[in-house]
Structure 1
């Protein structure tokens, strides 16, 4: 729809003009105005596409309208339609911008004049648009070129510069006017100018871009530029100009050369070097040098893409590996000594250093560099020195030095856990006769074979040492788990008395054995060895093939022990065993939430015997298993009895022994106890110790998981006094950690004990495990535990172990225990 603004005082004339246009097939509408103000307003508001104007109006005139139109909307075609315009006036109007003029008595020419005017107006609009686009394109080109960090230039066919951007000016260190119109011969050394001109002529001849590297000498430096020259076509498709873009690659080339030098150094290094991508899930190797191939036997193709763990083979349980994992996890340097295996399966010791490669953008490091050092020979040398220092050359057994070290360890453990252990001093009877009759080589062979037999008699935790000559010492620290010292000694005597075959001859020997026990017969290694030696001489004085305990008192104690062992067999059937209970209190509200069952022996003649005097006997004789079952059943029934009496449910803690934990039917016994007593499994807690688990950790974890699946709670007793292995702790289904009394005793006066207690509490809580402290005897200890977040507590400060009736009375009185002031 064509919008027409008519400057016309006659509506009839306006209708005639419009009719003529419609007759010619034009679709149009119009707005008629008669005054200057209306004309100005409608140009702004109506947005006409064509203006038709009479030349003379009563209140306005056509020439004024033309001037206004040229001012406000010069792009709109303006045609005079008048009956009074003369030829000179018409020519004058055309010069002032009118598109045409039409005489009113010749309106038939109006449609063609309008069409022509509109076409010319459209052409002008298109021309102006193209001019603007070209101007904008030129402006963008200039801005782009002037800000391009690379040099950019254009030359004519003769090689004269006709354009150079700011980077070119900076690179050549010359003013712009000294570049434009110049040839390269005036700007560069002759050889360089000749090479550049040859490249440009080749570009024009081939009609395609050429890339080349040139050295540009400057006043104080030499720059290396990567130049790309290309032909520029004119409108006719002819290559009349040469364009060029150059990038300063001086620093890049230096970096490449430095990198190449480092790569050569790494490849030539005798030290294995590797690089790992730690952002990928498998953390694959992405590079290994030649030294790595030589040391490991794996080629680069075989190693790259694999995780480094293939170097450990099946030997994956290496504690030092955690150091490397931690370094990678925390993106920091790390160091470890690892056992690695070559492609042929041979072991080599690897001293590994790893470090992150800093990210150039400040992000998390993506790569880690590892440097290996094969320390196999050093390690073997160290092990050889250590073996010479600690082991007997003839037998391979521990020597006096290592024996003393292990005895000191045993003493420390025994003091901490209130354990005992034995030292056996063994001397071959009449050994001198063997040397005299068969020679020293036969004597050495007898010593070697005897050492092997002694070792076969003992457990893994015990030590056989040779002090020299025909003297051996046994350090017996584990025999009390399921057998007495007497059993071990008898086994040794029976083993040694079997005939030896020496140089084809059968030889039977006996030995004399002296025994000393810690702490009764000595509180340090030297005293124990001296007393065991004395006892051995007493045994030898009594005749061959004898053994003696140190001192007469030991023999008397042995008699007392045998009597107790005999009475203990009848204690269960005679109902002499009883349970006392020590309350366990919640530190938040002082409420009794549990009780520990503690066994007592009411001997008919000796009175009340504490567990430390008869529990070791029961372990030696195997009675610990039926006694343990009785304790668990009795504790469960009595706890259920309290619940049936209406008291709030509390748990009862029962101590398990090593022998019980090793019983195949333990879980079945627990199920039967719960079934017969009717006690909720959550109200039964079984206490185990760290040292118990370490005899067979994997089997123990399986058993404990089965117990936990029943709903029975588990408590780890004496935590921190033994192995304290965090790797095992997180695998154990325990509900509660018990801080050992040895730490509680000096918790308010000894800094280390305080730190250990705090650490145990923090560790347990981080694993969502409750913490209970035992042996609390002072208000200061109680306050310390309360302040540091301990959950539960038991000890003489709150209550001594009580008979069942007294325990029930405590619950009847409200079941709250406050620390004694």
Structure 2
């Protein structure tokens, strides 16, 4: 590689690079003996935001700022002056002012016959979030992102604990499974955001009706676990109905979503410990059989629940084994055979949702989303039809969506507009090994370069077999981009991210659910995952940006890409170019407009124990606090964040505590 000094080519310095690479293969910078920069790697420009030409001839102290520890700088100077290798961690600042921690190693070099130091080679690695990521993800691991309730893992542990405590002569416990009746209809007619709002309101109502120690947890979808503890055994038959009637009061009043009133029902199957099961598996099976009976008799029952004991009697009376195979769904649905039929008859629709570059305010990528037209003309969405499709059906769906998406992309090219596209890829269809060749064939058929196609794999689906791994690597070899979709919703792990050739990760919108009541924790997780993408060299897309506050916070935290209803809902292809031509986004983070954006700005420095880098009168928070009519005390807390060598923990907490209620008052009901 050619080296440049002060902008001029100097082939003689190639020997410096050769010698440096003999010492280390991971070079960030090379300076001369006066520490003037003469070589900058591409990875260093990506990490810092500085272009090569901006750094040539300058001292790398340009990266240091008010939060850079003075003692670390002093030790670095002393070690390098002695001719030794320096290794340590230091807080640096990117070109855009954001702070980041690096693991730094500087090696003195003596090139040629010189006995004096002629050059310094620097190796830098961004380590901002490695420890923070693990801690924060562990805290999130046992809670459902939509409702805030314990998730399946936590629920199964709670059931195990209840079963282990039995038997007890005086008290017992009940384990129940709840299904929400007609909830799927809410999702299908009003959308997932409305469905999430109903789940949140429902969970809050039920929790307010439970006793201390009782547990409500989300198993997934519209199914929940209810654990009622400390039931007096001798009066259980009398006490349990009263408890369950109180729980059912949660659905007596309608739920309000976007000004509309929504009603749902509940069905419950409940089992007693240890009468209906002596381990977690058997107790859950008994509750599941009781739930099936409750739903089967929904139109003819006197109570909203069924006990495992009565379900067993009902099962025997009807001559079946009590298994749940073939349980019908709730709400008006199509016949399950209608979905595969729609696939084979060519009734696949493709809508597109834009993915916005938050740094530049531009759009170059659309996600292709499948719809099915059913008999009678009704359009079905993925949450409705995907559970009814087998592997062969999923393959037909993938091919149909990909073919149509590439066809649209080629048509846009002919109109002089260039966009890229991403398509969801079900991991199950990778097993037969034919998908890479099929993708290659369709790309050639529509004359689309492989690099313009992204394939998104759901994080909540298992990728474990060698055949799947091989297919993914073959797709990457074609030049296709791979993304992990819905990170934070299921099976993900750092091992999966590092083991598969992903070039992007998409953060599940459920991660944003608690932003109003737990903004600090939510933004911390987002910042951590954005940093994770930076560490792994992957693009990060934040899904679920539904309003200005979320969009501003994501932009301030440095998210490269965003997707959500704030920009646009999924739209038919004929509307995309018109929308794209008229779309504008102001991505100037020097102007903070929302309390959530203000908290994000403060957090990105506070979480690294770094002071705010700009002068106080130029800081975006100064203007925001003035326009928010903040008191002199609040402005003083902010001013302290600009004092070296680091933030003031007390005033930082006061500032966060002041911003938090303003975030809650700043309603997210923005379009």
The TM-score range, normalised by the shorter chain, is: 0.3 to 0.5
Give the TM-score normalised by the residue count of structure 1. Answer: 0.36
Which has the higher Rg, Structure 1 or Structure 2? 1
User: Which fold has the larger relative contact order, with Cα–Cα distance below 8 Å and residues 6 or more apart in sequence?
Assistant: 2
The two structures have a TM-score, normalised by structure 2, of 0.44
